[in-house]
Amino acid sequence: MRNFDFSPLYRSAIGFDRLVNLLEASQNKGSNSYPPYNVELVSENKYRVSIAVAGFAEKELDITAHDNIMTIKGVHTSENNQNNYLYQSIEDCNFERKFQLSEFIQIKGAHLVNGLLFIDLERIMPETLKPRRIEIN
């Protein structure tokens, strides 16, 4: 079993602070790791989640967001898939993966390329919460 030290992420993961806690907790529980995914920092306020969804068509994938929780579901629609495998190592099961997003994180779009689902996220801070410079008179 692989163990990772997530402590460096606590300093640099802007917008995904709680996500690091969830990653660490899921590693310790030995929870379901399918499908594998990456979380990438694209720029200061933009992120990308890449999920390996080989074998799923666009119509079989569903992305929903509710109360700062992004849920990705994959459900195979062909029920009559009766293949006679001699050896099967590629996962062929339905899945549901949830991500808890920090405040002000919005889903900007998603696209499927070569078996990878890319979900673009952006942190949009309201003007009232941004630091502002006060002039001294």
Domain spans in the chain, listed from the N-terminal domain onward: 7-129
CA distances from 5 to 2, 8, 34, 70, 88 (A): 10, 7, 20, 25, 32
Q: What percent of the chain has pLDDT over 70?
A: 73
Residue 7: its pLDDT value, please?
Answer: 55
pLDDT band at 128 (very low <50, low <70, confident <90, very high): confident
Contact criterion met (CB below 8 Å) for 122 and 16: no
48-68 pLDDT tens trace: 999 999 888 999 999 999 988
Q: Where does 7-129 sit in CATH, by number?
A: 2.60.40.790
pLDDT tops 60 at residue 44: yes
Rounded (to 5) percent helix, strand, coil in the chain = 20, 35, 45
